[in-house]
Amino acid sequence: MNILLLGYGKMGKVIEGFAISRGHNIVARIDLNNRHEFEALSSGDVDAVIEFSHPSSGYSNVKACIEKGFPVVCGTTGWLEHKPEIDKLTQEKGGAFFYSSNYSIGVNIFFQLNKLLAKIMNPHKQYSLSTVEIHHTEKKDSPSGTAITLAEGIIENLDGRETWVNNQIAEENEVPIWSQREGKVPGTHIIKYISDVDQIEILHQAHSREGFALGAVVAAEWIAGKKGVFSMQDLLGEINL
């Protein structure tokens, strides 16, 4: 299939390697320096777009893809206040939009484990909650999109939690996210339930960007020819690595 890369930083280059190794063709690699190449492409040139750019350009990039009729897989975080608009535009245009805050298969298993643990902890009010995310110093948004997804999973399943806060003391109805930026850490997320007598902790630690990149390519393969708004939850039932 013909894949267009929107964003060609470190992640874009790893995605390119996986796409080529799986037999796909990269029709263009678009960044700030060659935006005119994107404008010249039409729907017949592109089977799927993989968009990993910057929080400031994620919304405009995805919108442009949907308007051109390109199926788009997006992994850029930090723009999700506009996602309802993109979902609506996708439906209006009969397009295809796939979004995940994290394309790692392991992280998506972790999302489900987090929800289950939150539900189990409901009767046990003696435990306080803490969540931590650690990423490399080049990451632009804070908290990470993955941390937000984890917080939303807790809010959905733990009674009394209504919203999340970042790097501040949380009220009883809030999920605290503590964001740290260190060296070249690909991504670590920790959920803790702490009481006076013990601590329950689940952790996901990425060792490299490769898990994210492979998941994005698999999502692009999956979305080609489909119409609608999708997520990793839709994909995981059919995934075949």
Residue 65 sits at φ, ψ, to 5 deg, of -65, -45
Q: What is the DSSP letter of 159?
A: T
DSSP of 183-199, one letter per residue?
Answer: TT---EEEEEEE-SS-E
The rounded distance, in Å, linking the Cα atoms of 75 and 69 is 19
* Beta-bridge partners for 3: 26, 48
Q: How far is CA 39 from the centre of its chain?
A: 26
The rounded distance, in Å, linking the Cα atoms of 152 and 194 is 19
Positions marked catalytic: 135, 139
Q: Note whether 132 and 164 are within 8 A (CB).
A: no
CB count, 10 Å around CB of 202?
15
Q: In sequence order, what are the residues at sequence separation of 6 or more whose Cβ sits closer than 8 angstroms to the Cβ of residue 236?
A: 105, 108
Q: Which 3 state secondary structure label does DSSP give 60? A: helix
Residue 148 sits at φ, ψ, to 5 deg, of -65, -45
The rounded distance, in Å, linking the Cα atoms of 36 and 148 is 34
Pairing of strands 128-135, 163-166: unpaired
